[in-house]
A and B are shown apart, each in its own frame.
Chain A
């Protein structure tokens, strides 16, 4: 059951860092977004408010300025019609009135009075004037003559009334209904205003860094613009179509991201337009965005560092603990160093060590108990053999005594005594090979007498190996098998050969017979623990004991051929001391 890579559980530091990062980012982004929107709204409304205030302020100034100019005109016209106290003739009086008004007001470029045919009746300042024909064909003049209502304001035009002089002006004109000899009905009053005052009021009215105001008339002609010549030269244009027909108010002009504030001026019908640019606000916006991103990056760094430290302080010990647990899983029951980290981790490590120790203790106990159990089982098996064999032997001795075969009975009794002496061996589990051979020979003597010389036996023993130790009664069960299963059923005389040789550093004990032998499938199952074969019990017993004492490397191996014989080999190490009782 393999896991896919992405399903692999994430480590705690990763989860911790990721979750805190996400939370902080979410909080910062949300907060910034909300803040940004509120700021943005307030910025636009601020901009509009500022713009409106500025436009209204300029509008007030211009209104009073124009009112003043109209008052001046009214006064002039009134003076012209009521000069009972005049010292001079009417024409001269008119000239004086115009001259004084011109001198009083710096925003007046010229004041003049025309008759119906365009002849100049009076003019200030008094400079040589142009011929009638060149004046009356001017558009402003023709419009002024057509006008029947009160005051009329012309669009900006070039005034050529004086010889060799051209100046831009806005002409205020009014048909007079003053009836007198010099100023008959149809007389035209004109006042040319310069742009000085207007410029002063408007040019300084900057809104933000780039904002400005300009004035248009009812027909959407630009009356005043701070960049008048730039517009005249065709380098710039205002979106006059956008303004056309718009009522007073505030408008967002999308194409250049600006706010337009429109206010109609009194008397003139002119409209003052204030333009302020929102992209200035967007500069501030960008500043905020960059500031927020700095904060975001900084908090990211902070989170990463803090998470790193956290993993150092809290998670590193946990990782160690995890590693130790892995070792335990792999069967290595070692305790770990106690960790003095946080309280929880410390408790965890203490508990872990306690658990590992407890497991170690329990396991040692189990092994010990198991060994004891096996030993007692084996002793029981050993002693199980004896009564049966003893009964048969004693029966044979009895039979010999009855037949008066005393010497033979004596040999048998002596062999039996030797057999039991070695069997007891003061309770030792390991005995010298010499004793084991004696034991085996005693057994063979007894069996040979009982089997009436059905077999012969020989020993081939390396003398130098005789003093090494081997498990007690390891040859006898094998010899017993050889006799019962190999030779007993054999017609020919049996031969049993016992050989002790060295093999490498170990000792090889072999019992070879020329009996019936075994088939391969019997041979294969003979040493398996489940085997119920009766002649297997002895072999298994010996094998188990050898392996318990010396390990899995040692034990019994059997080679056999049907009708040829069997060779049972016991491999044991060379030892001179009984280690099992140390």
Chain B
């Protein structure tokens, strides 16, 4: 009788051991993060992708990179956003084409329980969505400040901005206007909103020069408009007569900066946006608490300081 009991106890213990030894943690799978940007072809977005991939390899995540063809093509982007649900990705890092029109699709994936991080361009939502990017209003102010310094506070300015629907464009524009208003001798002669390609802003800038021959300064608010306006200055032969402040670090922009077509570039930190976007996306997937907003730094770089060690690092992405 006792032997039976002892046998029963041993059986119980061995089962217990079996259960305990089987319960070791499963190996964590590689997470899939979908990075959806406005367009795939600019230096800015390529650098964002680099940052995302750096974070992906550091934190063991696979990055799916998507973007529409044109930065104003919110419909294509909305479709891309919604495919993330079917693809079953773990999180989405998004730079929204449109501050308002992207919201519906973005909220769909939030409803599907997919963590969403916005970078560079946010969305107009009440949901808690982390935004990582430039303080665009401050960046606009910085552009104004640079322009004022370059012109000694006396200029007739033409503005070449980009998509009106983009929150970034409007914030930079407002920051610029608010700051430039401090200088009574600086007047805005003309303002154009153009699409994010080279031809449209170039044509817009040339048109500004044609209609306002006395324009002494041009400001452009993103990579494409900076390129277009820069080319326009070169083409119009106004390199020495016109001050130009632009955005971002396209190689051609840098060449024009060295040549003198462009005088100051406001450099954002797209690598940090991509890197932090993925990093916090992974944190969100792992259920960690993440902040609501992270501002990445901007610097103003001109011909004289562009080769300073710390500026080189931001101006020229280190590529392998």
Contact = CB atoms under 8 A, between A and B. Distances in A.
A234 B252 CA distance: 24
A168 B6 contact: no
Contacts of A137: 307
A312 B2 contact: yes
Contacts of A301: 13, 16
Contacts of B271: 229-230, 232-233, 235
Interface stretch (B138-146, B161-169, B309-317): B309-317
Contact of A233 (B9, B16, B314, B320): B314
Nearest to A230: B54
Nearest to B276: A235
B17 to A, nearest CB: 6
A230 B309 contact: no
A157 B316 CA distance: 10
A65 B20 CA distance: 52
B254 interface: yes
A234 B269 contact: yes
A309 B51 contact: no
A313 to B, nearest CB: 6
Contacts of B6: 309
B272 A233 contact: yes
Interface in A192-246: 195-196, 199, 227-230, 232-235
B318 A232 contact: yes
Interface string A37-56: 00000000000000000000
B16 A298 contact: yes
A166 interface: yes
Contacts of B276: 235
Nearest to B311: A158
Interface string B12-24: 1100110011000
Contacts of A305: 9, 12-13
Interface string A270-302: 000000000000000000000000100010011
B275 A233 contact: yes
Q: Give the size range of B's interface with the partner.
A: 35 or more
B272 A235 contact: yes
B50 interface: yes
Contacts of B16: 298, 301
Contacts of A234: 269, 272, 297
Nearest to A228: B318
A298 B17 contact: yes
A155 B50 contact: no
A134 interface: yes
A15 to B, nearest CB: 21
Contacts of B254: 166
B251 interface: yes
B312 A157 contact: yes
B58 interface: yes
A354 B208 CA distance: 127
A210 to B, nearest CB: 9
A302 B14 CA distance: 11
Contacts of A232: 271, 313-314, 317-318
A520 interface: no
Contacts of B171: none
Contacts of B5: 309, 312
B255 interface: yes
A421 to B, nearest CB: 74
A160 B306 CA distance: 11
A15 B184 CA distance: 95
B275 A166 contact: no
A201 to B, nearest CB: 13
Contacts of B54: 227, 229-230
Residue from the set B6, B50, B51, B312 with the largest chain A CB neighbour count within 10 Å:
B312
A235 B251 contact: no
Contacts of B258: 134, 160
Nearest to B9: A305
Contacts of A157: 307, 309, 312
Given A229-B318, A305-B13, 11 more contacts: A156-B318, A158-B312, A164-B251, A195-B320, A229-B51, A230-B275, A232-B317, A235-B272, A302-B9, A309-B2, A313-B2
Interface of B: 2, 5-6, 9, 12-13, 16-17, 20-21, 50-51, 54-55, 58, 251-252, 254-255, 258, 269, 271-272, 275-276, 297, 307, 309, 312-320
18 contacts: A158-B315, A166-B254, A228-B318, A229-B50, A230-B54, A230-B55, A230-B275, A233-B269, A233-B314, A235-B51, A235-B272, A235-B276, A294-B17, A294-B21, A305-B9, A305-B12, A309-B2, A309-B9
Pairs of residues from A and B, 5 with the lowest C-beta to C-beta distance, nearest first = A232-B313, A233-B271, A229-B318, A305-B9, A158-B316
